[in-house]
């Protein structure tokens, strides 16, 4: 069954860095949830106004639907999404496939420094506190883990790969080798 690896956390936690490294390492396609936001949401955040639930539900459903489309084609995915509340993650868990969450956690000062260093991102550092106040930790019934986002990115990636095992190995893409056919004696050729 396809797996959706959802790298989550507040802005500046390293979601994009982790997802890009995972995509490179596994070959599993990566989607940035921010690209699913309507322009109105991006403008709202850029102006310093936090999103409310009414802003988020259509965005989360659109992302969930994309994940389902990928799973129905037999594809696992890597998704970055803030997924701040359990209710938001519940929407993502409605997607076809197996969802695994990785919450990247870091101290507020580290997050703010990272956000201040970003160029051209619509999310202002002034909204960090709002995100931290909204963030709900993973619950026992959610398939996931919380990792220290201040660790070396390669160490984070290894921890994620240890969590998901052979993630990506069974996803037959266009360049995948066909399964070996058994010969007359039943042994694989």
Give 38-96 pLDDT, tens digit per residue.
899 888 888 888 888 899 899 999 999 999 999 999 999 999 999 999 999 999 999 99
> Phi and psi of 21, rounded to 5°?
-65, -40
Does 169 fall in a domain?
Answer: no
Q: Is the dihedral of CA 107, 108, 113, 115 positive or negative?
A: positive
What CATH number does residue 10 fall under?
3.40.50.300
CB-CB contact of 53 with 90 (8 Å): no
Q: Is position 178 within any domain?
A: no
Residue ranges making up the domain that contains 84: 3-164
Predicted structure pTM score: 0.80
Query: 100 near 143, Cβ under 8 Å?
Result: yes
Question: Is 19 inside any structural domain?
Answer: yes
Asked if the structure places residue 175 within a domain, the reply is no
> Does residue 172 have a pLDDT over 50?
no
How many structural domains does the chain have? 1
- Cα(96)–Cα(1) distance, integer angstroms: 9
Residue 116: C-alpha distances to residues 113, 122, 124 (Å): 5, 12, 8
């Amino acid at each position: 069954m396809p797996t959706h690896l959802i790298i989550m956390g507040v802005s500046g936690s390293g979601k994009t860095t982790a997802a890009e490294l995972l995509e490179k390492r596994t070959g599993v396609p990566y989607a940035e949830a921010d690209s699913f936001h309507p322009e109105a949401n991006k403008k709202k955040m850029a102006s310093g106004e936090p999103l409310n639930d009414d802003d988020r539900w259509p965005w989360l459903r659109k992302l969930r639907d994309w994940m389902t489309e990928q799973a129905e084609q037999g594809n696992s995915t890597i998704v970055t999404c803030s997924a701040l509340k359990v209710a938001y993650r519940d929407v993502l868990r409605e997607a076809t496939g197996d969802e695994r969450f990785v919450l990247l956690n870091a101290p507020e000062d580290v997050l703010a420094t990272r956000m201040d260093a970003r160029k051209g991102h619509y999310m202002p550092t002034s909204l960090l506190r709002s995100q931290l106040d909204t963030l709900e930790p993973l619950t026992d019934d959610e398939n996931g883990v919380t990792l220290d986002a201040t660790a070396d990115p390669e160490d984070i990636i290894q921890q994620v790969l240890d969590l998901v095992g052979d993630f990506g190995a069974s996803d037959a893409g266009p360049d995948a080798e066909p399964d070996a056919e058994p010969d007359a004696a039943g042994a694989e050729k």
